[in-house]
Amino acid sequence: MGELTIICGHYGTGKTNFAINRAIDAAINGKKVTLTDMDVVNPYFTSSEYADILREKGVRVISPTFAFTNIDIPALPASMYSIFDSEDDVIIDAGGDDVGATVLGRFSGEIRERGYEMLYVTNMYRPMISDPEDSVRVLRSIEDVCGLKATAVVNNSHIKEFTDAPAITGSLRYAKEVSRLAGIPLLCSTAPRRLIGELPEDECFYPVDVYVQTVWEKEGSKW
Amino acid sequence: MPEKVLMKGNEALAEAAIMAGCRHFFGYPITPQTELAAHMSKRMPKVGGVYLQAESEVAAVNMVLGASAAGVRAMTSSSSPGISLKSEGLSYLAGSDLPALIVNVQRAGPGLGGIQPSQADYWQATRASGHGDFKMLVFAPSTVQEMIDLVADAFSLGDEYRMPAMILSDGLLGQMMEPVVMDDTKRTEVPERPWAVSGHGNKREHNIVNSLYIDPPNLEAILKERYEKYERIKEKEQRCEEYRTDDAEIVLVAYGASARISRSAVDAARKEGIKAGLIRPITLWPYPEKAISSRMATAKAFLCVEMSTGQMVDDVRLIVNGKRPVSFYGRTGGMIPTPAEVLNEIKKMNGGI
């Protein structure tokens, strides 16, 4: 049976972009992988919106029943349960904050039984969690509602197109403090692929591509 | 220089309101504006403010009216169907000469419509936000940073002119994340409100905040006076941004998220040698008539781009007044036009010039 990884965190930290990267990387490495979008609280910029790219790369995608439609009904399809019998590596992209993670609670028994990693994604440049203590408070509220414990921190500190090497290295101390206060290891810091060469070699960086974009960003325009 | 942070449009609107001295928020949940209210619910208690989820949109807007009459900076936010419910209160606010900030994070309509982004409330915002003769100041940000700046302006101009002001956003801008600078030095002062009904301690005549006028001649006189004020605002407060319009033969007109899509299309058209430019209205009322009029010097044709079946295009046609062709391209129902689609429209027009 493959690994089950839950991606959780404050909303707007980049959970979805990280989840998409993990899924595509696993598929490229020959793994069978399922990405499960469990975000039923925020209808925009969810991983379901990127299902076409994911499927093209060989990733199986399970979406909420009404994802990417004009209605706001937080319903999950029966196929969600297939992740507990699947041999695939499974990535669960949870919704933001405690409200987004609440739905995980419904599956917590099955998740615990199968065994899981839960990665807490944090971003120093998000004002509500720019203080490590605030970030850990959000983490605890997520754990409380879903009944699952985070196993590692992922530092996804970025400021979109203004992300440069100093912005990332400047977040390492923050990330380590979040990890220390939370009592769980720092798994890695993410970095846009173009910056990997400029970053210190003695830290762990995970190269990411930017998938979560607006229509004009997709055509190369920042404004 | 404060550092850049990453904010979602909706939370930036909320945080900017707090920075502008607003301590009274009354709302009711609706997608896609919910993060605004959610952010307020977390932040207001920390800054000594009031966050109140009312029993309905109608209740929320009337709480705003009461708070504003009592002399404090107050606001509410909603998305399209919720704004329709607030329309009675908007009319009462205007009829009582009360400032207040109303945020509309537009979604598709009519009716329940849908939760995806839209710009189909332009007419409602600029023509008929409620019953009776009145106007609101209407601002249309197109970046998260601009949301922050326009919230401050909407509050202070609302106070200056004693009238409600609206930020007309949309689901796309509300939900997207962008780097912003929250510049604390731009913190606005809440001005004295000598007209407020906040207790007079028998030291002055009591104030009256009211929209009922028993004498028709009296009401007519007040409305005329208010419309003279509106004329002064039209003269003084029109705002827009122009992009590559200097020699533009095809002038796009678009606001909000559509302006960002149009701007990409203008760049793409320029690469193909087409002289395209963009006028982006920042105030929708007062509408930037002067900029569009003066652009007729070079423009051979105008193209309006909206996430609607064509609403703002009416204002462009009124200004252009038949002297140039005015085309329209829009997607609606929660669909977002792409830069490629807009470029295609520009090319069609270019062939026709």
- Size of chain A, expressed as the number of residues it contains: 223
Over the stretch B236-261, which tens digit does the pLDDT of each residue have?
999 999 999 999 999 999 999 999 99
DSSP annotation of A199: S
B81 touches chain A (CB under 8 A): no
A22: pLDDT confidence band, cut at 50, 70 and 90? very high
Binding-face residues of B in 102-121 toward A, CB within 8 A: 108, 113-116
A42: pLDDT confidence band, cut at 50, 70 and 90? confident
Complex ipTM: 0.89
Selection from B288, B247, B296 nearest residue B269 by Cα: B247
- For residue A214, the chain B residues in CB contact (below 8 A) are 172, 176, 260
Q: B248 to chain A, minimum CA–CA distance in Å?
A: 20
CB within 8 Å of B197: residues ≥ 6 apart:
B69, B70, B71, B206, B207, B208, B209
A41-50, A187-196, B45-54, B336-345: range with lowest mean pLDDT: A41-50
Selection from B163, B108, B109 nearest residue B139 by Cα: B163
Query: Mean pLDDT across chain B, nearest whole number?
Result: 96
B147: pLDDT confidence band, cut at 50, 70 and 90? very high
CB–CB contact A219 B340 (8 Å): yes
pTM, rounded to two decimals: 0.94
Which of B108, B116, B261 lies nearest to residue A215, judging by beta carbons? Answer: B261
User: What is the CA B262 to chain-centroid distance, rounded?
Assistant: 19
A223: pLDDT confidence band, cut at 50, 70 and 90? low
Asked if residues B103 and B57 have their Cβ atoms less than 8 Å apart, the reply is: no
Structure token digits, residue A110: 């099955």
CB within 8 Å of A180: residues ≥ 6 apart:
none
Q: State the pLDDT at residue A41.
A: 85
Q: State the pLDDT at residue B353.
A: 58
- Report CA-CA distances (Å) from B2 to A117, B20, B180, B184, B186: 37, 17, 10, 8, 11
- For residue A11, the chain B residues in CB contact (below 8 A) are 8, 35
- For residue B261, the chain A residues in CB contact (below 8 A) are 215-216
Terminal CA-CA length for chain B: 48
CB–CB contact A70 B113 (8 Å): yes
Over the stretch B106-139, which tens digit does the pLDDT of each residue have?
999 999 999 999 999 999 999 999 999 999 999 9
The phi and psi torsions of B78 (rounded to 5 degrees) equal -165, 180
Terminal CA-CA length for chain A: 45
CB–CB contact A42 B175 (8 Å): yes
- Extents of the domains making up chain B: 5-192+212-236, 240-352
Asked if residues B288 and B297 have their Cβ atoms less than 8 Å apart, the reply is: no
Q: What's the CA gap between B56 and A29, in Å, rounded? A: 52
Q: State the pLDDT at residue A222.
A: 60
* SS3 assignment, position B39: helix
CB–CB contact A223 B263 (8 Å): yes
Give the residue-averaged pLDDT of B23-28.
97
Q: Does residue B1 surpass a pLDDT of 60?
A: no
Q: Closest chain A residue to B43 measured between Cα atoms?
A: A128
Q: Does residue B348 surpass a pLDDT of 70?
A: yes
Q: State the pLDDT at residue A217.
A: 87
A44: pLDDT confidence band, cut at 50, 70 and 90? confident
Q: Does residue B233 surpass a pLDDT of 60?
A: yes
Structure token digits, residue B1: 């220089």
CB–CB contact B35 A71 (8 Å): no
B184: pLDDT confidence band, cut at 50, 70 and 90? confident
Over the stretch B296-308, which tens digit does the pLDDT of each residue have?
999 999 999 999 9
- Report CA-CA distances (Å) from A4 to A1, A25, A151: 9, 15, 12
Q: State the pLDDT at residue B2.
A: 63
- The fold adopted by the segment(s) B240-352 is Rossmann fold (3.40.50)
Do the domains B240-352 and B5-192+212-236 match in fold?
A: yes
Q: Does residue A210 surpass a pLDDT of 90?
A: yes
Over the stretch A57-69, which tens digit does the pLDDT of each residue have?
999 999 998 887 8
Give the residue-averaged pLDDT of B275-287.
98
CATH number for B5-192+212-236 (one of 3.40.50.300, 3.10.20.600, 1.25.40.80, 3.40.50.970): it is 3.40.50.970
Asked if residues B173 and B144 have their Cβ atoms less than 8 Å apart, the reply is: yes
- Report CA-CA distances (Å) from B49 to A130, B46, B216: 22, 7, 40
Over the stretch A127-152, which tens digit does the pLDDT of each residue have?
999 999 999 999 999 999 999 999 99
